[in-house]
Amino acid sequence: MPITFMLNDRSISLDVEGEMPLLWALRDVLKLTGTKFGCGAGLCGACTVHREGEAIRACTTPMSSVQGRRITTIEGLGGQADHPLQDAWIRHNVAQCGYCQPGQIMAASALLAQNPSPTDEDIDRAMAGNLCRCGTYSRIRAAIHDAAGQLQSDSGQTPAPYYQSNLES
């Protein structure tokens, strides 16, 4: 029986086995290759997507668990425009090889949805499972602070003090 779910705000039905990892369905069946295959074992975060807004590992998530749920990938994160995190990533030149970055941005966006003004410690805790072999961690942190400030400005709130200092550094 087909598995029906919302993918990037569109209803979709796939005739696949329930045990198939979501990552396989995204990349091999749907050709959405923004979500990356790293370890395949839930250890690196390269395959991070959202299920109902929560960051999950697509490589260890069976298709049976997405039935009727809302899945968001990097391709659908910002809707019609880039997400403020994607703009901040560019401003801070975060990516090196880029392979881990979709997963990093998906993890960061789930963090900001829950915590609009994270501290360094909040960021380090939330992002700890997303590995970057190129060592872009300090730029990732700066970009998250930048995007958090941007989102607060857009919502009419006063940006946290570190927003400006990070932009100037």
Contact residues toward ligand FES (CB under 6 A) are 37-40, 42-47, 57, 59, 95-101, 132-134, 136
Q: Are 86 and 77 in contact (CB under 8 A)?
A: yes
Beta carbons within 8 Å of 107's beta carbon, 6+ residues apart: 45, 48, 55, 126, 127, 129, 130
Q: Which is nearer to ligand FES, 22 or 148 (CB)?
A: 22
Q: Which is nearer to ligand FES, 97 or 164 (CB)?
A: 97
**Minimum distance of ligand FES from residue 22's CB (angstroms):** 10
Query: Rounded to whole angstroms, how far apart are CA atoms 90 and 85?
Result: 9
Q: Which is nearer to ligand FES, 43 or 113 (CB)?
A: 43
> Which of 93, 147, 96, 137 shows the shortest CA–CA distance to 117?
147
Distance from the first to the final alpha carbon of the chain: 54
**Minimum distance of ligand FES from residue 40's CB (angstroms):** 5
User: What element of type H or E holds 90?
Assistant: helix 84-91
Q: Which is nearer to ligand FES, 21 or 84 (CB)?
A: 21
**Minimum distance of ligand FES from residue 104's CB (angstroms):** 7
**Minimum distance of ligand FES from residue 49's CB (angstroms):** 10
